[in-house]
Amino acid sequence: MPQIMENPDPNVSVVVPVYNEVESVADLCRRLHEVLPTIGRKYEIILVDDGSRDGTWEKLCGLSETIPHMRMIRFRRNFGQTAAMSAGFHAARGEIIVTLDADLQNDPADIPLLLRKMEEGADVVSGWRKDRKDPFINRRLPSIAANALISRITGVRLHDYGCTLKAYRKEVMKNVNLYGEMHRFIPALASWVGADVDEVVVRHHARMFGKSKYGISRMMRVILDLVTVRFLLSYSKSPIQIFGKVAMWLGVPGIMMILFMAAANLSNLAFGTQFAADLIKRPFWVMTSFMLIFFGIQLLSMGLLAEIQIRTYHEAQNKPIYVIREERRSAVR
């Protein structure tokens, strides 16, 4: 049996979440093996199999017999891309962590671009797929809207939050905890702990194998996750700020309604006008609309409180968001 070897003290860790990519992983590993020896640093390749069912794990095990510096982590089931990224971050030994997709739409040849940008002082470098090779209606248009919204709300302005090709300093990622589907917001979360965030234009290739696991249906998830991120960035230390604002948003209209009804009654008594008085005798519409708004805010508040509780649950017990089935390493140098 070949001796299992691993690169001692790597400087760069490349983390790749993999899910049902049996057709692309061989070409991906080959390209990484061609590019990474040219960066002039010790490196490791960490591939996290997020519960693939198409033979991806077996393919990776075969590749590890000939491609060096590979580490493979296999989940017991599909936990999602955020969990796969988190497992890769925890396993990484390099000072710099680079992430990219396994579907070959990200180009491994762009990794040196990210590393050069980090040499200029950035703590997080995000790829920008300026010439994106995806359908406009169901992929690019929602992405444009989502990037504008995320940049506006988080204050960290990037052209392409959805690009997985990014580079991070490990010292920054130690202070960023990932749950749910928060991987797309890592630059904003890193900025919150004081990281300098920059971006660089990278190449993007049309999908050659399989089909995309993302689409316009994920827009609602992005919006809901963005609400959570905004809450964590601005109100996690003082929740009364947001709940106080909500109370004002409800209280001020309520006070204005009372004043309107008082004015309508006075007008009726003084001038005999009936229009305003007749209007306020139909409270069903006003009550129903305000009850619906209140219920919506109540549910949103419960969701935010649940986000805080789930973080307390995980962090207090040091409970991971994934379960590893097995790990393997390259059998060659």
> What CATH number has the domain bearing residue 48?
3.90.550.10
Under 8 Å between Cβ of 36 and 12: yes
Question: What is the C-alpha separation between 107 and 31, in angstroms, rounded?
Answer: 9
Q: Return all residues near 162 (Cβ < 8 A) that are at least 6 apart.
A: 143, 146, 147, 184, 214
Question: What is the C-alpha separation between 46 and 8, in angstroms, rounded?
Answer: 14
pLDDT of 1 reads 33
Tell me, yes or no, whether 298 lies in a domain. yes
Question: What is the C-alpha separation between 189 and 222, in angstroms, rounded?
Answer: 15
Cα R_g (the chain), whole angstroms: 26
pLDDT at 264 over 80: no
Residue whose token pair is 């983390």: 15
In terms of domains, do 159 and 42 share one?
A: yes
pLDDT at 94 over 70: yes
pLDDT of 277 reads 55
Number of structural domains found in the chain: 2
pLDDT of 305 reads 77
Tell me, yes or no, whether 329 lies in a domain. no
In terms of domains, do 145 and 53 share one?
A: yes
Q: What is the mean pLDDT of residues 4-28?
A: 86
In terms of domains, do 196 and 263 share one?
A: no
Question: What is the C-alpha separation between 51 and 84, in angstroms, rounded?
Answer: 10
In terms of domains, do 54 and 178 share one?
A: yes
Q: What are the helix (H) ranges across the chain?
A: 25-35, 56-63, 81-91, 111-119, 141-154, 170-173, 186-192, 219-234, 240-271, 275-280, 283-317
Report the run of H or E that residue 15 belongs to, with start and end: strand 12-18
Task: Write the pLDDT tens digit of every residue in 213-246.
Answer: 555 556 667 777 777 777 777 666 556 556 656 7
Residue whose token pair is 């990281």: 195
Q: Which two tokens stand for residue 302?
A: 């419960």
The β-bridge relationship of strands 96-99 and 12-18 is: parallel
Q: Which domain holds residue 50?
A: 12-234
pLDDT at 63 over 70: yes
In terms of domains, do 117 and 246 share one?
A: no
Report the run of H or E that residue 199 belongs to, with start and end: strand 197-201
Nearest to 162 by CA among 140, 176, 143, 186: 143
